[in-house]
């Protein structure tokens, strides 16, 4: 059960990083 929690946390962290990268890329495109 703890492993599942760690996996979920890692996935959420990766999704957060991906969203940040997309945001940065879109900002660079608009500038």
Give the pLDDT of residue 2: 82
- Write the pLDDT tens digit of every residue in 1-31: 688 899 999 999 999 999 999 999 999 988 7
Give the pLDDT of residue 30: 81
What is the total count of domains within the chain?
Answer: 1
Look up the domain containing 8 and give its range: 1-30
> b vs e for 9-28, b when ≥16 Cβ sit within 10 Å of the residue's Cβ?
eeeeeeeeeeeeeeeeeeee
Which tokens hold the place of 7? 């996996």
């Amino acid at each position: 059960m703890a492993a599942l929690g760690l996996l979920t946390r890692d996935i959420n962290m990766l999704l957060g990083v991906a969203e940040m990268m997309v945001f940065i890329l879109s900002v660079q495109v608009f500038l």
